[in-house]
Amino acid sequence: TGGETLLRKDLGELLADTKKQNMRVTLSTNGILLNLLKPILQYVDDLGLPIDGHDHASNSIMRVSANPNMRHIDFVLNSIKYVQDNHPEVNLTVRTVVTAKNYKSVPKIGKTLIDKGINPLKLRWKLFTNSQKFIISLLRLRTHGQFFVRRLRLETLTNQK
């Protein structure tokens, strides 16, 4: 994909032109640049944000930062909350990569969203994994996040490298 989409200087102009042509806009971002996201949300139909664990420690396993003080999950949760509160017309998708390193944390993501005042029933949740075994394990784990897994449309892509 070429890196973080929001760093492109002409993104607002490109999205505005795209909407003028009655095309749908789906934006995938890492979620840490909320200030750059706010002005362009008027052009966005679908927004994808990554959460790979229920807290800073588990999310950081998958989301390594050069800045140890940067808490990726906090940026993403704030972005989700902002979009739900201010742009309810934007469809939100939480994207999670499930691996052997984070699969025990993934079912707890739903509770984290609820605890932050985010309505998980207004989100789609996509799990990306290279094995259906993880999906089955997630559905069987008995955690607070089980509510989230059962209630949301669960989309999986298998055989992802």
How far is C-alpha 48 from the geometric centre of its chain's CA atoms?
5
Query: CA-CA distance, 98 to 61, in Å (whole number)?
Result: 11
User: What pLDDT digit, counting tens, does each position of 91-125 carry?
Assistant: 998 888 888 888 888 888 888 988 898 887 787 77
CB 127 within 8 A of CB 109: no
The H helix count followed by the E strand count for the chain is 7, 5
Query: CA-CA distance, 54 to 104, in Å (whole number)?
Result: 10
- Which stretches of the chain score pLDDT less than 70? 1-2, 64-68, 130-161
In this prediction, residue 85 carries a pLDDT of 94
In this prediction, residue 125 carries a pLDDT of 77
